Amino acid sequence: MLKVAKFGGSSLADAAQLRKVKDIIDRDPSRTCIVVSAPGKRFSGDHKITDLLYLCEAHLKYGVSFDDIYEMICARYLEIRNDLGLSLDLESEFDELRRDMRHGLSRDDIVSRGEYFSARLMASFLGYEFIDAKLWLTFNLDGTIDTEKSYELLRIAAEGRKVVIPGFYGVMPDGHIRLMDRGGSDITGALAAAALDADVYENWTDVSGILMADPRIVPNAKTISRVTYSELRELSYIGAQVLHEASIFPVRRKNIPLNIRNTNDPDHAGTMIQESFDDEPVNDPGFITGLAGRKGFSIITITKSGMSSKVDSLRRIVEIFEKYNVTISYAPTGIDCFSAVVENQQLDSRKYAVLAELQKELKPDDITVTEQIAVFAVVGRRMVSRSGSSARIFEVLGANGINIRMISQGPEELNIIIGVKESDFNPAIRVIYENFVD
């Protein structure tokens, strides 16, 4: 058994958090590969080390002294080191870095030091070996990751060892350090898990997994205990704030389960994400895995009698949206009408141009725009085996006076997508949760 465990910034914010991390690792000897973020906020109003490093770089760029911010950064690490009683000599490295920064280091060089020092400290605290990300995580020239090379290098470096790896950066073929997008340590963790063929990729954060609904709408929303990769994709596509796609892809491809856990509540099993679950209880009464959605959509409906018998109508409509770079998120159709559900963010500046062109090209009987639409998905792999799932959902919405403006359901029956007026969004989520989640 081999587990790759990634710890986020809040799990490394101070010495007390590092102690929690060590406890978690000590409990399970199969946690042999640890990936860390830079120290995050200790309290609201505090600063993440990564943000401070970006700020240093901005000061340098404009020729403003960065000394005060740099001191803050160094002090955070030194406090953790001293608190934990470690003997790591960080001072000389900090002095050297300051000198190098004055002589011109790239933004990526500077910001990557957040994760680098975090990993050095953690390795020293755990008595694990430190493996620098630049020794294995290799980018291609186009910024994608050279997974084959990276996996091979990590396998060689980590073979039979207990290691700590900094997240968030890697190396270009010419040896320059390159950062990933913000939050990239999740990706490093997933790549490490895939490289080492881990049995599980644990992502330790400050929440006990993914919630079944947005807690701002359903305050006591339960944690999703099991979710498939496909369900998760549906939930995040429509609005759930979960992991970045790129941090799921490497483990999903290798069929490695991903477990989201809480450093501050390590006994909670969190959320387990897998390709499928073979041991599902047959009589599980709950058919909903989660609910997610968001406001800010419009529905453009084009009606023209005889439209359905014309082979090219749909293509001509879609081409107009494509021309103006407006993605059609959902496309419910009727016999002689076609509706495009689109995001206002994309539509707003191009709305009249799109409408004018639709009018000119298609000469429809009518075009209407319904604004202030919210779209949400009721996601559940167990819906497929239950007849009447959608009927029950619609019945509950109807009984609560919520008018459905759009419905879309894929043939794989993983989700039911529902559009309602924005003002009905929160009540809709609430009544579905209350009626179907016990």
Using CB under 6 A, which of 5, 25, 33, 38 touches ligand ASP? 38
What single letter denotes the amino acid at residue 57? Answer: E
2-21 positions binding ligand ASP, by CB under 6 A: 8-9
Widest pairwise Cα distance in the chain: 80
Place of tokens 């494509």: 322
- Beta carbons within 8 Å of 343's beta carbon, 6+ residues apart: 296, 297, 327, 329
State the nearest-atom distance from the C-beta of 97 to ligand ASP, in Å.
17
Residue 57 tokens, joined: 């770089």
Binding mask 214-243 for ligand ASP (x = CB under 6 A): ------------------------------
Residue 183 interacts with ligand ASP (CB under 6 A): yes or no: yes
Question: Alpha-carbon distance 147 to 162, whole Å?
Answer: 21
Residue 332 interacts with ligand ASP (CB under 6 A): yes or no: no
- Beta carbons within 8 Å of 96's beta carbon, 6+ residues apart: none
Of the candidate spans 91-99, 183-191, 214-222, 318-326, the one that interacts with ligand ASP by CB under 6 A turns out to be 183-191
Cβ atoms of 147 and 191 within 8 Å: the answer is yes
187 to each of 7, 32, 69, 147, 205, how far by Cα in Å? 12, 18, 28, 12, 14
Of the candidate spans 177-185, 246-254, 256-264, 355-363, the one that interacts with ligand ASP by CB under 6 A turns out to be 177-185
Name the residue nearer to ligand ASP (CB basis): 49 or 429: 49
User: Nearest-CA neighbor of 93 among 111, 72, 78, 107?
Assistant: 78
State the nearest-atom distance from the C-beta of 180 to ligand ASP, in Å.
7
State the nearest-atom distance from the C-beta of 251 to ligand ASP, in Å.
16
State the nearest-atom distance from the C-beta of 6 to ligand ASP, in Å.
9
Name the residue nearer to ligand ASP (CB basis): 47 or 268: 47
Residue 422 tokens, joined: 């924005």
Residue 367 Cα to chain centre, angstroms = 37
Name the residue nearer to ligand ASP (CB basis): 114 or 239: 114
Of the candidate spans 94-102, 181-189, 412-420, 425-433, the one that interacts with ligand ASP by CB under 6 A turns out to be 181-189
Cβ atoms of 20 and 11 within 8 Å: the answer is yes
Residue 39 interacts with ligand ASP (CB under 6 A): yes or no: no
State the nearest-atom distance from the C-beta of 167 to ligand ASP, in Å.
5
Residue 70 interacts with ligand ASP (CB under 6 A): yes or no: no
Binding mask 377-396 for ligand ASP (x = CB under 6 A): --------------------
Contacts 24+ apart (CB under 8 A), 307-313: 307/335, 307/336, 307/337, 307/338, 307/364, 308/335, 308/336, 313/338, 313/362
Name the residue nearer to ligand ASP (CB basis): 167 or 332: 167
Instruction: Give the DSSP letter of residue 223.
Output: B
State the nearest-atom distance from the C-beta of 53 to ligand ASP, in Å.
9
Of the candidate spans 14-22, 176-184, 267-275, 286-294, the one that interacts with ligand ASP by CB under 6 A turns out to be 176-184
Residue 114 interacts with ligand ASP (CB under 6 A): yes or no: yes
Residue 50 interacts with ligand ASP (CB under 6 A): yes or no: yes
- Helix H or strand E encompassing 368: strand 366-379
Question: Alpha helices, DSSP H only, in 344-421?
Answer: 344-347, 351-362, 389-399
Residue 184 interacts with ligand ASP (CB under 6 A): yes or no: yes
State the nearest-atom distance from the C-beta of 231 to ligand ASP, in Å.
24
Using CB under 6 A, which of 10, 37, 205, 228 touches ligand ASP? 37
Cβ atoms of 222 and 212 within 8 Å: the answer is yes
State the nearest-atom distance from the C-beta of 34 to ligand ASP, in Å.
14
What b/e string do you get for 145-168 counting C-beta neighbours within 10 Å, with b at 16 or more? bbbeebbebbeebbeeebbbbbbb
User: Nearest-CA neighbor of 163 among 326, 24, 319, 36?
Assistant: 36
Residue 245 interacts with ligand ASP (CB under 6 A): yes or no: no
Residue 167 interacts with ligand ASP (CB under 6 A): yes or no: yes
Question: Alpha-carbon distance 263 to 271, whole Å?
Answer: 13
Residue 185 interacts with ligand ASP (CB under 6 A): yes or no: yes
In the complex, the residues that contact ligand ASP under the rule CB under 6 A are: 8-9, 37-38, 48, 50, 114, 167-168, 182-186
